[in-house]
């Protein structure tokens, strides 16, 4: 049995004191790889730290991109810096997380949408898949992705920490997206997420932690970490009524096929 945490944030300050132990915990739990998504201020060195972590750890990969919270800070200088990082190392697998967040509105919505489209175009020019964040912006997210990503040259994308409707999942899968579920699918009141999971076939499914956030049951309330993707995978295996090993192996195969790598 092997798993991949398709979305985590282990370069953040909440892991500064025990990052090496956290990575080892994941390996010991059967999590053979982690895709670490760079975050932080576009003007800081955080993305260089993201790449450094991946280069120093065989099991860690990286993605870079500007979160919608920080869209207002996106400019040509930031863009060129991130492009340089993607070209510097084969450990950078994707551009993201990018998208829309109309829940917090840390950046004006018009700017979020403009920067979202711009980053999709950059990723396409680099032949990189994209990783999407969407909160309280289902229709706008689907519309933009359908307009920008519906041709055969698109490498595909991952809708991370899926929180939309079954209809949204179906629309995105039609244009080449995988759907990734995080620990919140295990929450008692998350019937809507479980309803969406039921329409996602195994060949389109990924699992993630989004750690340090969204710790799955039975560890809810504690800091999340990549090892706990096991709990989400076990929960989804029960939901799909299949063996845990099958779900683990299928999601790992999906990740490797999607990113065209063998881990």
pLDDT by residue for the chain (263 residues), tens only, comes to: 799 999 999 999 999 999 999 999 999 999 999 999 998 888 888 999 999 999 999 999 999 999 999 999 999 999 999 999 999 999 999 999 999 999 999 999 999 999 999 999 999 999 999 999 999 999 999 999 999 998 888 999 999 999 999 999 999 999 999 999 999 999 999 999 999 999 999 999 999 999 999 999 999 999 999 999 999 999 999 999 999 999 999 999 999 999 999 99
pLDDT at res. 71: 97
Q: In 3D, which of 174, 160, 177, 170 has the Cα closest to residue 199?
A: 170
Q: What is the CATH number of the domain that holds 22?
A: 3.20.20.140
Q: What is the pLDDT of residue 261?
A: 96
Pairing of strands 3-8, 31-37: parallel
Of 149, 181, 162, 160, give the one whose Cα is nearest residue 39.
160
Give the model's pLDDT for residue 224: 98
Asked if residue 149 lies in contact with residue 174, where contact means CB atoms within 8 angstroms, the answer is no
Closest alpha carbon to 7 in 245, 232, 260? 232
pTM: 0.97
pLDDT at 155: 93
- The encoded tokens of residue 62 equal 């990286």
Question: What integer pLDDT is reported at residue 218 of this predicted model?
Answer: 96
* Whole-number pLDDT of residue 39: 86
Q: What pLDDT score was predicted for residue 1?
A: 79
Q: What distance in Å separates the CA atoms of residue 76 and residue 66, rounded to the nearest whole number?
A: 12
**pLDDT on residue 45:** 87
How confident is the model at residue 44, as a pLDDT?
84
Give the pair of three-digit tokens for residue 63: 């993605």
Structure confidence at residue 42 (pLDDT) = 87
Residue 206: predicted pLDDT: 98
- What are the distances in angstroms from CA 124 to CA 63, 70, 83? 14, 21, 12
Report the domain count for the chain. Answer: 1
Structural domain boundaries enclosing 181: 3-259
């Amino acid at each position: 049995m092997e798993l991949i945490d398709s979305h985590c944030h282990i370069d953040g300050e909440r892991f500064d004191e025990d990052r090496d132990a956290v990575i080892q915990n994941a390996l010991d739990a059967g999590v053979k790889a982690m895709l670490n998504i760079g975050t932080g201020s576009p003007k800081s060195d955080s993305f260089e730290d993201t790449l450094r972590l991946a280069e120093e750890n065989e099991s860690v990969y990286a993605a870079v991109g500007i979160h919608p919270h920080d869209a207002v800070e996106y400019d040509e200088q930031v863009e060129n810096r991130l492009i340089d990082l993607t070209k510097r190392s084969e450990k950078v697998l994707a551009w993201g997380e990018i998208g829309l967040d109309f829940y917090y509105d840390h950046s004006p919505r018009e700017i979020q949408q403009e920067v979202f489209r711009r980053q999709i175009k950059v990723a396409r020019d680099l032949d990189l898949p994209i990783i999407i964040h969407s909160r309280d912006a289902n229709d706008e997210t689907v519309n933009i992705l359908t307009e920008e990503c519906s041709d055969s040259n698109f490498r595909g994308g991952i809708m991370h920490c899926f929180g939309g409707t079954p209809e949204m999942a179906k629309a995105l899968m039609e244009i080449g997206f995988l759907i990734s579920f995080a620990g919140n699918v295990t929450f008692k009141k998350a019937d809507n997420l479980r309803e969406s999971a039921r329409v996602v076939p195994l060949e389109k499914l990924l699992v993630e932690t989004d750690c340090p956030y969204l710790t799955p049951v039975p560890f809810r309330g504690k800091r999340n970490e990549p090892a706990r993707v096991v709990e989400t995978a076990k929960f989804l295996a029960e939901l799909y009524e299949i063996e845990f090993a099958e779900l683990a192996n299928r999601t790992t195969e999906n990740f490797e096929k999607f990113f065209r790598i063998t881990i």
